[in-house]
Amino acid sequence: MAIWHSLNKYRDFGLLVIRVGLGAMFIYHGYPKLMGGPQLWAGLGGSMKYVGINFAPIFWGFMAGVIESVGGLLLVLGLLFRPACLFLLINMVVAAMSHLGKGQGLGEAAHAIEDGVMFLGLFIIGPGRYSVDRR
């Protein structure tokens, strides 16, 4: 239909909406993790055991908070966009593996899987015209 085809000219604006919305939510969820301190970081970092990493849980938990909060900001800005998407994708793979490894099932892992799919797609197509990385 012609009416839907006319929306193609707003593709970059659509990417901006996705970037800002998803990035803002990751800042919202990541900042408390970043500020949570060593006890929270150890709990988060313990999830790395589901991907075969059993050392330095405090470091890995801290990095999860950094990736979510700083990665969310980079997403909003469209700065270092593809590396941010890659790190956020890895973070979501670990989150999904953690849910599945704890026996919580696909229902609990679904959110991380959905976000991971979104980050993979964004990694492939890039940030769009309205970004700091624009060339």
> Which tokens sit at 119?
């980050």
Helix (H, G, I), strand (E, B) or coil at 43: helix
Name the average pLDDT for the chain: 95
What pLDDT score does 135 carry?
64
**Domain that includes residue 115, residue range:** 11-125
- Residue 3 belongs to what H/E stretch? helix 2-5
Whether 17 maps to a domain, the answer reads yes
How many percent of the chain have pLDDT more than 90?
91
Per the structure, the count of domains in the chain is 1
- Tell me the pLDDT tens digit for each residue of 28-87: 999 999 999 999 999 999 999 999 999 999 999 999 999 999 999 999 999 999 999 999
Whether 132 maps to a domain, the answer reads no
**Confidence check: pLDDT of 3 > 90:** no
Whether 27 maps to a domain, the answer reads yes
Whether 130 maps to a domain, the answer reads no
Whether 115 maps to a domain, the answer reads yes
Mean pLDDT over residues 105-134, rounded? 95
Whether 43 maps to a domain, the answer reads yes
Whether 4 maps to a domain, the answer reads no
Per-residue CA distances from 11 to 54, 63, 74, 87, 115 (Å) = 43, 33, 20, 24, 20
pLDDT band at 7 (very low <50, low <70, confident <90, very high): confident
Whether 34 maps to a domain, the answer reads yes
**Confidence check: pLDDT of 134 > 80:** no
Task: Using the Cα atoms of residue 115, residue 117, residue 121 and residue 124 in order, give the sign of their dihedral.
Answer: positive
**Confidence check: pLDDT of 4 > 80:** yes
